[in-house]
C-alpha cells in the first residue's frame, strides 16, 4: 500500500460548472513525504492497520469488516503521531485514529506495533464527514480530541472544529453514557470549547483534572515550555 495525501471532504459540494467547491475545514494540509524509517513502518503495517479512504466512501462500508469484530467504537480525531493511541489501553474496544498528516500515521503505526495495539485502525479522511456519514447515531463510546488546532487569529476562528453544529453531531453519535474528552494548551480555545459545549443539549461536564491515561504529548510539552495553561475537559452524554 502506498501513502495517500488526505482527500478533500468526500461528497463535497460542487459549483454550477462542476468544480469542487472550497470548503472550510479544521485542518491544514501538510507534506506527505516519508523518511526511510517511516516508509519501512508503512510498508510493514499499513496493509493491516490503515483503512483505504476509498473503502470508507463506499456505501456498503462496515466497521466490523475492518476491525474483524463487533465492539464498542472509540474515535480519536487528529491523532498526530499516535502518542495517545499508543498509550491508552482499551482492549475491548475498536479504536479508530483519524489523522490527515500521513507521515504522522506512519509514526503512529510504529507506536502501535511497539505497544502491541492490534485493535487500532488508522484513517486519513475528513473527520466531520466521517462522523456524519459513516458513524451511526449512538454508535460511539468515546471521542478524544487532544490539542486540536486553535486557529489563533480571529478571522480563522470559523475553522475551529469545536462549533455548535459539531457538538450537536458528537452528541448524536455518542451512546448514552458515552464521553467526549478534550484538551488544549490555548486558554482562549478552552473558553471557546466551554462556550460551545456547555449549553449543548444532552451533554454535561466541563473542566476536569488531567485524564490520568493521557500521555504527555509533544504539543503539551511545547505548551508547557511556553508557560501556557493546559486545560482538560470531559463531557458525558445523558
Please indicate if the annotation marks 191 as binding a ligand. no
Please indicate if the annotation marks 36 as binding a ligand. no
| Of the candidates 220, 48, 63, the residue with the CA atom closest to the CA atom of residue 140 | 63
**Residue found by looking up cell 495553561 in the block:** 229
Please indicate if the annotation marks 126 as binding a ligand. yes
The cell for 188 is 482562549
Our answer to whether residue 149 is catalytic in this structure is: yes
Please indicate if the annotation marks 237 as binding a ligand. no
Q: Which helix (H) or strand (E) holds 174?
A: strand 174-184
Q: Could you give the CA distance from residue 159 to residue 22 in angstroms, rounded to a whole number?
A: 13
Please indicate if the annotation marks 149 as binding a ligand. yes
Annotated catalytic residue, options 43, 52, 62, 149: 149
Convert 114-124 to b/e letters by CB count within 10 Å (16 or more is b). Answer: eeebebbbbbb
- Contact criterion met (CB below 8 Å) for 180 and 174: yes
Please indicate if the annotation marks 185 as binding a ligand. yes
Mark the binding-site residues for S-adenosyl-L-methionine, compressed into ranges.
Answer: 76, 99, 126, 149
Show which residues are catalytic.
Answer: 149
Mark the binding-site residues for substrate, compressed into ranges.
Answer: 153, 185, 217-220
Mark the binding-site residues, compressed into ranges.
Answer: 76, 99, 126, 149, 153, 185, 217-220
Amino acid at each position: 500500500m502506498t501513502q495517500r495525501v488526505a482527500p478533500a471532504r468526500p461528497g463535497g459540494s460542487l459549483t454550477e460548472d462542476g468544480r469542487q467547491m472550497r470548503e472550510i475545514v479544521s485542518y491544514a494540509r501538510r507534506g506527505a513525504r516519508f523518511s526511510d524509517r517511516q516508509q519501512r513502518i508503512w510498508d510493514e503495517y499499513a496493509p493491516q492497520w490503515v483503512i483505504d479512504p476509498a473503502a470508507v466512501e463506499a456505501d456498503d462500508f462496515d466497521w466490523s469488516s475492518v476491525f474483524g469484530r463487533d465492539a464498542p467504537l472509540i474515535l480519536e480525531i487528529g491523532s498526530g503521531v499516535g502518542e495517545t493511541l499508543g498509550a491508552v489501553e482499551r482492549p475491548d474496544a475498536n479504536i479508530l485514529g483519524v489523522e490527515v498528516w500521513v507521515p504522522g500515521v506512519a509514526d503512529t503505526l510504529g507506536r502501535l506495533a511497539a505497544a502491541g495495539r492490534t485493535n487500532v485502525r488508522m484513517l486519513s479522511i475528513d473527520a466531520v464527514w466521517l462522523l456524519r456519514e459513516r458513524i451511526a447515531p449512538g454508535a460511539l463510546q468515546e471521542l478524544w480530541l487532544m490539542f486540536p488546532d486553535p486557529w489563533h487569529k480571529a478571522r480563522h476562528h470559523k475553522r475551529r472544529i469545536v462549533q455548535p453544529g459539531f457538538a450537536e453531531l458528537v452528541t448524536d453519535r455518542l451512546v448514552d453514557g458515552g464521553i467526549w474528552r478534550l484538551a488544549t494548551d490555548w486558554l482562549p480555545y478552552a473558553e471557546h470549547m466551554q462556550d460551545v459545549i456547555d449549553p449543548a443539549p444532552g451533554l454535561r461536564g466541563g473542566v476536569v483534572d488531567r485524564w490520568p491515561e493521557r500521555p504527555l504529548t509533544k504539543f503539551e510539552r511545547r505548551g508547557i515550555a511556553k508557560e501556557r495553561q493546559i486545560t482538560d475537559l470531559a463531557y458525558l452524554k445523558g
